[in-house]
Amino acid sequence: MLPWIQLDSATIPGENGELRLKQRGSEFSIMLGANELMNSRLSGSEEALATLSWDRIKSHPKPRILIGGLGMGFTLRAALAALPEDAGVTVAELVPAVIAWARGPMAEVFKGCLDDPRVGIHQGDVGEAIRAGKAAYDAILLDVDNGPDGLTRKSNDRLYDFAGLRAASDALRPGGVLAVWSSGPDPDFTRRLKGSGFAVDAVNTRANGKRGGARHVIWLAVKPVK
């Protein structure tokens, strides 16, 4: 068994936490303390975050998507595979090193998706991008924590409270979808979404897609068309 080698580490802006990029052969892992946030062998639920969202908005012309969290690019790549040529995707990534890892040691994992002309990078807080966009997006995809709480960054809690959900609704166009990835269920979050006026589905998915793996949850919260 090959040993894990730590390639780099990066502090999270405004927090005490540190992300660590590790490699074992062709496998990569991003860790926060003892928590593995993502692994290059497990992409199924991150891909589902994009494909399930696209199913909700595929009738929208010239769709505009905001992805919170670059990670290992699985959600971005799945979105680009589904979206038309006139789409636009903004990826908000708080930690500059994660973007550097995508273009450096993990370039083979990303397969050039950051160079797609439909893609723009917002280096900063996804919450800022949400609050700045009024009816700007057809879909907002959040994979910045292990669920609807601020694991990687305590201030991320603001994304999932009532004020944060109102901001997300304001940033969506009618019929747009807020999609949130989670490592497990959270009935309180489902209630907050419904209380914020969204039509909500909580979809169970697997870490490795049809091949199984850990069970994850994706909330699909659609803004009503008035």
In angstroms, the Cα distances linking 159 to 68, 151, 182 are: 11, 12, 13
In angstroms, the Cα distances linking 205 to 109, 152, 210, 213, 221 are: 22, 22, 9, 9, 16
Residue pLDDT, tens place only, 81-112 = 999 999 999 999 999 999 999 999 999 999 99
Residue pLDDT, tens place only, 18-60 = 999 999 999 999 998 888 888 998 888 899 999 999 999 999 9
User: pTM of the entire structure?
Assistant: 0.92
Measured at the alpha carbon of residue 181, what is the angle toward residues 176 and 187, in degrees to the nearest 5?
90
